[in-house]
Amino acid sequence: MTSTATENLAPIALFVFKRPEHTRQTLASLADNPEFNSSPLYIYCDGARNEKDLVDVEITRDIIGSWEHPNKTIITQKINCGLANSVIAGVTALVSQYGRVIVVEDDLVVSKYFLSYLNSALDKYYNSRKVLQISAYMFPVAEFSDKKETMFLPFITSWGWATWSRAWEVFDAKATHWECLLTNSETRKQFDLGGCYDYSGMLLRQVRGEIDSWAIRWNWSVFQHNGLVIYPPTSLVKNIGFDGSGTHCRPDDFHDVRIQASTDQFLFSDSIEISSREYLAVKKVIKTMSGSFLVRFIKITRSKIQRMKMVNQG
């Protein structure tokens, strides 16, 4: 990771809601990054869903309001827009203005090298049309613990990431062509990482209105355009929101990672292609972390029933 000139630092989009202590930890970890005070900081505050949310929403807003930063902009909502709408609107606005953006949610603690890594990667792959996202998260793959080189994978993560305006242009909020997941088993298998994770089931639930996720639609957009995402060998971010405080939190092991603490620099690859060996190692970890065989079987069966119903209805 090389230092990035101040004028090239990407704006940081921080999305907060009603978790004051998580927000405080997120800001404190960002502030440990040398680039933080020189980066434009945009904090998006969603509105309360009900009266029960009001107190925590206001406490969270007090924290971000009093947090000292020389280039801070706070965008507050009077009504609850939801995380998906907030992220889509915020990212769209910032890439339109700056051409790039770094995205952080209020349940993440980041490494002190988080901003350096993302800004350096934004610079290096600026003109690499196939690279659509930079992830600061990496799954806990034991064999990558001593690895220095970054890698490319064909799917996104939502825990600390960055992108460019030229990449965000492919984002499709309507998830066009989702119907092929109902009948094309090969496309479905590929989207599900060879059956390791039920992304297709998530997208179908999105289409049915059962969930509201910007991430699954972004993942589908990247998949549809054969895009790649750059990943660090070890994680630069940790999710601390798996305590029941979040809207979308769920009990799994994807958050159980060590944050990169070394000053050693990651080496950015000049070869923009997927290593089958590295991809296989990541998929094995994802499959293991996604639950027992019984849990995965239940998810697969549920998705199959869902697809059959949608085919019959369509």
pLDDT tens readout for residues 253-283:
545 555 665 546 799 999 999 999 999 999 9
Distance between CA atoms of 32 and 162, rounded to whole angstroms?
19
| Beta strand 41-45 pairing with 12-16 | parallel
Provide the strand spans (E) within 32-145. 41-45, 72-76, 100-105, 108-110, 131-135
Helix, strand, coil abundance in the chain, percent, nearest 5: 45, 15, 45
Distance between CA atoms of 7 and 307, rounded to whole angstroms?
49
Domain ranges of the chain: 6-170+225-274
CA separation, residue 124 to residues 212, 233, 306 (Å): 33, 17, 42
pLDDT tens readout for residues 22-79:
999 999 999 999 999 999 999 999 999 999 999 999 999 999 999 999 999 999 999 9
Q: What is the DSSP letter of 198?
A: -
CATH fold label, 6-170+225-274? Spore Coat Polysaccharide Biosynthesis Protein SpsA; Chain A (3.90.550)
